[in-house]
Every structure is written in C-alpha cells, then in structure tokens.
Amino acid sequence: MSIDIDHITKSFGTFRALDDVSLNLPRGELVALLGPSGCGKTTLLRIIAGLEIADSGRILLDGQDATEKHVRERQVGFVFQHYALFRHMSVFENVAFGLRVKPRKERPAEADIRRRVNELLDLVQLGWLKDRFPSQLSGGQRQRIALARALAVEPQVLLLDEPFGALDAKVRKELRRWLRRLHDELHISSIFVTHDQEEALEVADRIVLMHKGRIEQIGSPQQIYEEPATSFAYSFIGNVNAFRGKVEGSFVRVGSDLLAHARTDLAEGEPVVAYARPHDTEIVPDAPEASGVAARVNRVLSNGGISRVELIANGPERGGAKDYFEVEVGSDDLARLGLANGQRVRLRSRRLSLFRDQASG
C-alpha cells in the first residue's frame, strides 16, 4: 500500500522528535529511513504503525486517512529491533499468534493455520526450528522468525525498526541480502529504520535521510551518495573531507591556503564548508605558492589496489582536535608520490561541493 505522511509533528516534552515531516511513499518499494540516533526515524516508523500518536498531521494509507485508525486495523507488520518474540511460546506458536487471535469469524481452521505457519517457516528457511523457544535461537534466527510472525497476518506494509542493529557484522550482511531477496519475491511495501548508511545504500530502493526531526533528502541510493543535497547529507553519507573557510573569488580560503571551486552564486567572504570524497581528493607535493590545503601525512594504510592515506591538517585546532583528512590513492600514484609519515603535502579536490557554513554563521 502507498503511504502518505502529511505534515506530521511530534514532541516528547520539550524535545521535538518530528518537525513538520511530509513524505509520499509509493507502493511496493523498500524504503530506508536513515539518520543518526535521535533524528526521529523510529518515532516516524512507530507513528506509521500507530504505536505513537502524532501531535498534528495525518497518515494516509492507500489514500485513506488512517490517523484515527487503531493499530489493530492498520494492517501493518512490525519487526522490533530486539525482535519482541513471545518468550513463553514456541517458534511455531509465535508465528501462529496473529492467526489465532483473529475474531472467531475470520479465524482460519486449525489445519489452515498449520499450513500457513509451515509455509512461512519455509519462507524464512527455519522450519526445522519450529518447536524451539526464542531463547534457543541465534540473533539472526530470531530476526527471521520475527519477520515470519509479522508476515503471517498478510500485512499491507512491513515496518522494520533497526532490523539488523543487534546482529554481528557477518550475519548482518547475510540478512541484508536475504531481506532484499525476500522483498523482491513478495513486493510488499516495506520501510526499515537504520542508522547504518552502508545498510541503507545496499538494500533500499529509496532512502529518506533524516536529521533533527526533519527530512534532509529523499532519493535513490545513488542520488543520495553522489548528489548530497545538504551539508548534513554530505557529512553523514560516506567518508568525506570537510574544509571550512571563506569565499574569495573563485577560491575558498582555508586558513592561509586556497582551494579552487567552480561555484558562482556565492557572495564574497561568505563562510562555507567545502566537502570532497576521499576518492575525489588528490595529494600534491607541497610547494610555497601552490594552491591546496596544507596537511601532514599521518598514516598510510595499504590493502590491495587502493591505499588510504590519513592526514592531519596544518591549520589551527578546532574544538580541541586537529582536522583529519582521508585520501584514497591508487598504488601507482602512491609509488610516484613516495609518501612518508610526517611528510608535508597539499590536498586538492577534483570535485568540491560547497555549502554555506551554518556552524560558523
């Protein structure tokens, strides 16, 4: 089902969790709500489910106003971060729960319940665990059982709260791929909450990037990664080098150094922050008159064809710490540069993105 979120606002005491959020999600997509902790993503998910009530605004499911609809009637499936499996029930009974609590008229016959639960357990490939209790399962298995349980009532939309948050790295990667495959089979509209950008970029059709209760950017993973719309989007997604300075003609003055840029719409002297991805940043030898930000090589991490060079800014400390930069260098370039720890170099960027600097403005 399609989901329309219409000017939703929600506060907890004086903390504004969601600030006038609007969002349209077409049917059948796998959407990631991405953002740092406290950005309001879980609150938004719980409001869609009906577990929280918004202070103002509407939720429309399939075009129908569901704001006043009870959780039970919304036909949503919800997978909790810590699974929330019923600890005193076997795996089978956990999955069967949603069918067993239906009103007598709608409740399937016992044989149908058994068939349906077995189908779902096969779908999540855990049929052999059906007599176990949740405590006897691994984290990944619990997650899949929680998903099977949510799917048992044939929800119109599936909501997942940090679905892989509590799992170790390897299981996480496996489950990620598995969730994507499952979504491609079932085509059920799904929204999952995550703070892990890699997870969102890998799994989702569409990413909704959130920050401080507002939506920063909505787009495909590629758009989000390659064309970050805001300063926050740039700094949150992927590794990035940030240079803070002031506009000076076609340059940004960073401390005593200059960085070339191509923007023409910025006023002279405006404080800006310039972002460059590690693979778009280049290291050039230090020379007195050269452009580029001066830095000192801290470490060179070589593994495979691409090496990562970690550098420390020459400029003054900000907030008690030096700025760190990271540059990805091909092995050929690395050999040509002959970098040694402590060596002074300059950094330039092939692709610099400028944003007005709110922090210093």
Query: Which residues lie near other proteins (CB under 8 A)?
Result: 49-51, 71-72, 76-78, 80, 82, 84-88, 97-98, 101-102, 133, 135-136, 138, 149-150, 152-153
Phi, psi for residue 114 in degrees, rounded to 5? -60, -45
Closer CB to other proteins, residue 133 or residue 178?
133
What does the angle CA 135 – CA 200 – CA 34 come to, to the nearest 5 degrees? 90
Closer CB to other proteins, residue 166 or residue 334?
166
Closer CB to other proteins, residue 102 or residue 263?
102
Q: Give the Cα separation of 212 and 176 in Å (integer).
A: 26
Q: How far is the CB of 139 from other proteins (least distance, A)?
A: 9
Closer CB to other proteins, residue 163 or residue 245?
163
Helices (H), 152-285: 169-186, 197-203, 221-226, 231-236
- Residue pair 55/30 in contact (Cβ under 8 Å)? The answer is no
Q: How far is the CB of 119 from other proteins (least distance, A)?
A: 17
- Residue pair 280/240 in contact (Cβ under 8 Å)? The answer is no
Closer CB to other proteins, residue 46 or residue 348?
46
Q: How far is the CB of 52 from other proteins (least distance, A)?
A: 10
User: Which secondary structure element, helix H or strand E, spans residue 11, and what is its range?
Assistant: strand 3-12
Q: How far is the CB of 81 from other proteins (least distance, A)?
A: 9
Q: How far is the CB of 85 from other proteins (least distance, A)?
A: 8
Q: Which two structure tokens, joined as six digits, stand for 249?
A: 């003609």
Closer CB to other proteins, residue 108 or residue 271?
108
Q: Give the Cα separation of 145 and 95 in Å (integer).
A: 7
Q: How far is the CB of 152 from other proteins (least distance, A)?
A: 8
> Which are the contacts of 276, defined by CB distance < 8 A and separation ≥ 6?
240, 241, 243, 349, 350, 351, 352, 353
> Which are the contacts of 156, defined by CB distance < 8 A and separation ≥ 6?
1, 61, 62, 75, 76, 188, 189
Q: How far is the CB of 74 from other proteins (least distance, A)?
A: 8
Closer CB to other proteins, residue 88 or residue 344?
88
- Residue pair 159/171 in contact (Cβ under 8 Å)? The answer is no
